[in-house]
Amino acid sequence: MQERPSMTEYPAYFQDYMKLVPEGNIVALFKEQERQTSNLLQGLTDEQARFAYDIEKWTIKEVIGHLTDTERIMSYRLLTIARGDVTPLPGFHEDSYVLQAKFTEMTVASLLAQYKAVRASTIALLESLYDQDWVRQGMANGHVTSVRSLAYIMLGHERHHHNILHERYFASATYPLNRM
């Protein structure tokens, strides 16, 4: 699947994520992003990953968990719509998910293992889709959404968090530098 979704295939609030997704084969983009995310985070110590750049902001561990949970939810939405299920899908409250998951109590290694497993599952799902599946539309969080837009949203969402990690976490004067 190469064709980008039109603006009618997703809620307007996802436009910023869409702009972050480069041109290219969607499955190849997912594979490359998995390599980038793994390379970015795999050398972190648990101490570094407990860092939050400000009060009431997530720790790096919570960001990793949030990326994984969001992809789980978006992949479920993608699967549901791709299979022609017209059941309206609910939204989710990301802060509640992060709070309930207790990601800060997990190791970086376990969080990255979950991330990689979810990403591998998402890639396998995308590789199983036929051309007609990509353009199917359904309702998610009260908005019309297409299968291909959900794939782009996942990629853009993760790229958005890469930018935040670089700009607000790793660039912070208080970030613990003892990287191994």
Inform me whether the pLDDT recorded for 1 exceeds 70: no
> Is there a contact between 146 and 7 (Cβ–Cβ < 8 Å)?
no
52 belongs to a structural domain: yes
39 belongs to a structural domain: yes
Per DSSP, helices labelled H in the chain are 15-19, 26-41, 46-49, 60-82, 94-101, 108-128, 131-134, 147-164
Question: What total number of domains does the chain contain?
Answer: 1
Inform me whether the pLDDT recorded for 42 exceeds 70: yes
Average pLDDT over residues 142-154: 98
CATH of the domain at 79: 1.20.120.450
Q: Which residues contact 8 (CB under 8 A, 6 or more apart)?
A: 144
1 belongs to a structural domain: no
Q: Return the residue matching tokens 């059941």.
A: 87
Q: Which residue, among 14, 144, 170, has the nearest Cα to 88 in the 3D structure?
A: 144
What would the pLDDT profile of 61-101 be if each residue is shown by its tens digit? Answer: 999 999 999 999 999 999 999 999 999 999 999 999 999 99
Tokens for 176, please give them.
């613990």
Average pLDDT over residues 147-153: 98
Report the pLDDT value the prediction gives residue 178, as an integer from 0 to 100: 61
168, with CB counted inside 10 A (0-12, 13-18, 19+), is middle
Report the pLDDT value the prediction gives residue 180, as an integer from 0 to 100: 44
**3-class SS of residue 144:** strand
Question: Would you mind telling me the total number of residues written for the chain in this entry?
Answer: 180
DSSP 146: E
139 belongs to a structural domain: yes
Confidence band, pLDDT 50/70/90 cuts, at residue 103: very high
Report the pLDDT value the prediction gives residue 177, as an integer from 0 to 100: 78
Inform me whether the pLDDT recorded for 151 exceeds 50: yes
176 belongs to a structural domain: no
Proportion of the chain above pLDDT 70, given as a percent: 97
What would the pLDDT profile of 117-139 be if each residue is shown by its tens digit? Answer: 999 999 999 999 999 999 999 99
Report the pLDDT value the prediction gives residue 167, as an integer from 0 to 100: 97
Report the pLDDT value the prediction gives residue 3, as an integer from 0 to 100: 87
Distance in Å from the first CA to the final CA of the chain:
39
d(CA 12, CA 137): 16
126 belongs to a structural domain: yes
d(CA 176, CA 169): 10
Q: Which residue, among 171, 97, 82, 174, has the nearest Cα to 128 in the 3D structure?
A: 82
What would the pLDDT profile of 25-41 be if each residue is shown by its tens digit? Answer: 999 999 999 999 999 99
Domain that holds residue 105: 25-170
85 belongs to a structural domain: yes
